[in-house]
Amino acid sequence: MPNPLLGGIRVLDMTQIRAGPKGSRWLADAGAEVIKLEARGRSDSRGFGRRGSGNTAGPIAAISEAAQREGNRVAFEQLNRNKLGLSIDLSFPEGKELFKSMVSVCDVVMENFSYGVMDRLGLGYDDLRKYRPDLVMMSMPAYGSSGPYRDYVSFGWAQEHMGGITSRTGYRGGPPQKTGTIVADPLNGVHGAIAVMTALIGRAKTGQGRFIDFSQLESMVPLSGEAILDYSVNDRPPQCNGNRDFYMAPQGVYPCTGDDNWVGISVTTDEEWAALCVVLQNPEMASDSRFANGRGRVENHDALDSMIEQWTRQREKNQAMRELQKAGVPAGAVLDQAEAYRDAQAVSRDFLVELTHPDGVIYPYSRTPARFSKTPAEVRTPGPLLGEHNEYLLGSLLGISAPERERLESSGVTATLSTDLS
């Protein structure tokens, strides 16, 4: 049962890899009918491309090609669940006509090809509007649809650096470090979903469709707005400050029992500082005038850190978090990735859900990070196989007869997985 939240909205999704699919996943989770368009030999990265190929053991650091492909499948499932699979090869004139017919019954088209690809195919916004006058279309090339960089190539990797996120990410006095998950793609995906929803609300009010010119760089820069103002107003370039805050202390990660186990602590007020002194049972710390106010604590951070460490080293990270939080000190265990989906809070909120695929394989998924009280966004169906829903989409929706669909398939305009394992 699709979610009525976006029920009735149909999205033709040509995006690939991570950023675009992340955005359309938000729409699919909320009940829009998201049609993932692929073609024979040009399918999105889904590894083996078929379900139930079995898990390949081994740490990612020493990943084999097979494991890499299986990992791609994990990514594909996570980003493309709840979507339908359609395959049309746009290099055929007939494929282009099919595509236009599909556009005529869709509300939204999303694509993340290089700039100009859609126009060269004769499928740019101005072309497609003829088939759907109130179309919302989002193009997401790396640098947008104009300007001297519009033809430049980029993957998500470069954008966290171009967008300046990493100019503040690094140990004190050290060089910048990359972010663990390479954040640009998911950040851009959610901005993309926001842009589409904004346009759909506008369309609901006035009937007017829109073109969304999405530059992945421009989507990153606003996430550092205060750093840009600090530079332009105060002439202060961004600095790497490790895990510390410039205005409040103490803040950091502190070692706990076990190997590579840490607890994050962040004291933001004098009240929380007093609470920390109580938890640590350290009267010396509480009465030390160097630590009496925030400025003093920032200036004497090193001394504070060693006192806090003495306490955390004797505790398991979750235990440390609980004791600190109980006393009113902001603290969080530094969870590894599996723990992040399975700690008490995530389990209590059913953040991780499982779906049994038609072949019996069970896959885990994380739910959309938003809970709607009346129209919950659920994980309903696995990521689609190539062309899995051609029959519904081309037959039921567009009214193409079975013999005609067979002809399209045999002439290569459409394809289903049985003819393409790549």
Partner 1 sequence: MSNALEGVKILDLSQGVAGAYCTKLLAGSGADVIKVEPTKIGEITRRLGPFSGDQPGVEQGLMHLYLNTGKKSVTLDVHSAEGQSLFRRLAKDADLVVESFMPGTMVDLGLGYDQLSADNPGLVMTSVTFFGQDGPYSGYKGGEIIAQAVSGNLQITGAPDREPLMVGGYLAQYVGGQAACAASLMAVFHSMMSGEGQIVDCSIVEANTDMLDRWGIDAVLGRGDQPRTGMAHHWTYPTQLYPCRDGYVALGIEPAGWGALADMVGDDALRKPEYTGPERKQYHAEIDPILVAWLEDLGKMEVFEGFQKNRMSSGILMTPADMLESPQLQARNFFQEVEHPSTGPQMYPGPPYQLSDSEWIQTRAPLLGEHNHEVYVGQLGLSELELTELSAKGVN
Q: Quick one: which segment of 91-99, 257-265, 389-397, 413-421 binds partner 1 (CB under 8 A)?
A: 257-265
Stretch that binds partner 1, among 89-97, 232-240, 397-405, 408-416 (CB under 8 A): 232-240
Coil, helix or strand at residue 243? coil
Q: Which member of 93, 97, 171, 422 binds partner 1 (CB under 8 A)?
A: 171
Question: CA distances (Å), 3 to each of 9, 27, 139, 144, 166, in order?
Answer: 11, 10, 26, 32, 38
**What's the Cα-to-Cα distance from 14 to each of 39, 80, 123, 336, rounded to whole Å?**
10, 12, 12, 33
Binds partner 1 by CB under 8 A, chosen from 281, 284, 344, 360? 344
Buried b / exposed e over 107-118, threshold 16 CB at 10 Å, is bbbbbbbebebb
Give me Rg for the CA atoms of the chain: 25
Q: Out of 24, 112, 219, 414, which residue is the one contacting partner 1 (CB under 8 A)?
A: 219
Residue 257 makes contact with partner 1 by CB under 8 A? no
CB of 105 to partner 1, least distance (A): 18
Nearer to partner 1, 93 or 247 (CB): 247
Coil/strand/helix, residue 239: coil
Q: Can you name the residues that pair with 353 across neighbouring β-strands? A: 365
Nearest distance, CB of residue 310 and partner 1, angstroms: 16
Query: DSSP labels for 316-328?
Result: -HHHHHHHHHHTT
Give the footprint of partner 1 on residues 129-158 (CB under 8 A).
Answer: 138, 143-144, 146-149, 152-155, 157-158
Locus of tokens 């979903």: 193
| Beta carbon nearer to partner 1, 95 or 192 | 192
Q: Which stretch binds partner 1 (CB under 8 A): 102-110, 175-183, 391-399, 406-414?
A: 175-183
Residue 218 sits in the site that holds partner 1 (CB under 8 A): yes
Select from 338, 360, 399, 403 the one that contacts partner 1 (CB under 8 A): 338
Cα angle for residues 23, 152, 192 (degrees, 5° grid): 15
Cα separation, 182 vs 21, in Å, equals 16
Site for partner 1 in 382-411 (CB under 8 A): none
Active site positions, annotated: 185
